[in-house]
Amino acid sequence: MNSFNSYNKRLKKNQSPLLLSPGPVILATPIKKSLSQDMWHHRSFLFKKALRKISSDLKILFQTKQDVLILACTGTGAMEASLSNILSPKEEVLCVSAGKFGERWKEIALAFNLKPIVIEVPWGQAVSIKEIEKHLNNKNIKALLITACETSTATEQPIKEVAKLLKNYPDILLVVDAITGLGAMELKMDKWGIDVMIAGSQKTFWLPAGLAFICLSQKAWKKNLSSKLPKYYFDLNKERQAQQKGETAFSSSVSLIRALSVSLKLLKKKGLKNLIIRTETLKKACHIFCKFLGLELFSSKPANSLTALKVFSADSIKKNLERKHGIFIAGGQGQLKNKILRIGHLGPLTNKDFIRALKALGFELVKQKPDLFTKTKIKMALKKVEDILKPS
Ligand SMILES: Cc1ncc(COP(=O)(O)O)c(C=O)c1O
């Protein structure tokens, strides 16, 4: 029997596949139903009506009065659009690089002929405000680029404090990659004074990958008027004009946008505050499980959206979880390959799903290191988890 058949057979025997990555996430039934509907034309009345409603709902998640634009790309496309729409060649940007996605800010800046000044933060740590402040008297810096939740290290960055600091430097725009942060941690765009905020559909929006969201403050739109970097598909001004009329500038990703209207309905019903509380609760449960078993967290400022834990043979555990238990969790990226596992807390996960994943992880830990882990110890750890997450 080939390995794919044996994998399928095991899945049938056990339970359905479970996605516990920090994006993409499992899909709720109403979203799956929406994705299988007949096509609408993107200039139809029905689509316009749906897009108008979505535009107003997105403002609630972004906590803004500004337009939140929908782009047909993944999050990285919106990161690129953010720079190409507010900056001009050779302008200096301050990049906070605390992991794989912070590094991406620098890479995009270089690709667009900008001059990145990089604050290298040890992976797993949050940037120090004092370190940022040291650079801000440089009058050439036009924007500060930062990642709200650094997914590669499961670390939260102090966005509120950075925004407060930047109030003293009104010529510097604050650009926040909130791709795994939005809807999982506090991010108050207008109140805190964030100038550009970016999100992606496969994370807290409970959708497949393929849509990105970007919102600009009035200050950022003003800078857009003088921006000279090349833009065509990602011309946000053109996109804003179209979306204000209930259209997208080019052919719309109709199925995903229609599914977005369903996911926003679900998210609105839960409420932003409760969504954040839910990710915090899963984080707490995950941390208790790790602590009880003596597994060390990688981050010194752990994010709500996911947990990164240091484990021996991480890649082999990850592989067994997928092939034998049908559970996908992420491994380490770059310098963290085979050193950590990353368990996502996002999407419509039930308590039962989460406990199933931790149980399978426990099973694999016992198998790999029976001298360190016993079935009894795992059961006790799971009991602690169940005290927080009542199995439903
Ligand atoms: C924090 C962060 N930034 C950027 C990205 C890139 O997003 P995408 O893969 O949707 O382009 C990711 C994806 O995981 C992410 O977690």
Q: Domain coordinates of the chain in residue numbers?
A: 3-22+271-388, 29-269
Q: Tell me what pLDDT residue 355 has.
A: 97
Topology at the third CATH level for domain 3-22+271-388:
Aspartate Aminotransferase, domain 1 (3.90.1150)
Domain at 29-269, CATH class: alpha beta
Q: Tell me what pLDDT residue 47 has.
A: 97
Indicate whether residue 177 lines ligand 1 (CB < 6 A): yes
Region 168-178 average pLDDT: 98
Region 289-299 average pLDDT: 98
Please report which residue ranges of 206-295 form alpha helices under DSSP H. 218-226, 236-244, 254-270, 272-293
199/222 Cα distance (integer angstroms): 22
64/261 Cα distance (integer angstroms): 18
Indicate whether residue 74 lines ligand 1 (CB < 6 A): yes
283/199 Cα distance (integer angstroms): 21
Q: Are 243 and 214 in contact (CB under 8 A)?
A: no
Q: Tell me what pLDDT residue 16 has.
A: 80
Indicate whether residue 119 lines ligand 1 (CB < 6 A): no
Q: Are 69 and 220 in contact (CB under 8 A)?
A: no
Q: Are 60 and 190 in contact (CB under 8 A)?
A: no
Q: Are 180 and 306 in contact (CB under 8 A)?
A: yes
In Å, what is the CA distance from 74 to each residue of 35, 106, 237, 250, 348? 18, 18, 19, 16, 20
Contacts of 235 by beta carbon, 8 Å cutoff, 6+ apart = 85, 249
Quote the strand ranges of 11-154, DSSP E.
18-19, 68-71, 92-97, 115-120, 141-147, 149-150
Q: Tell me what pLDDT residue 5 has.
A: 53
* pTM of the full structure: 0.96
Residue 157 scores a pLDDT above 60: yes
Question: 75 CA to middle of ligand 1, Å?
Answer: 5
Indicate whether residue 101 lines ligand 1 (CB < 6 A): yes
Indicate whether residue 76 lines ligand 1 (CB < 6 A): yes
Confidence of residue 6 (pLDDT cuts 50, 70, 90): low
Contacts of 273 by beta carbon, 8 Å cutoff, 6+ apart = none
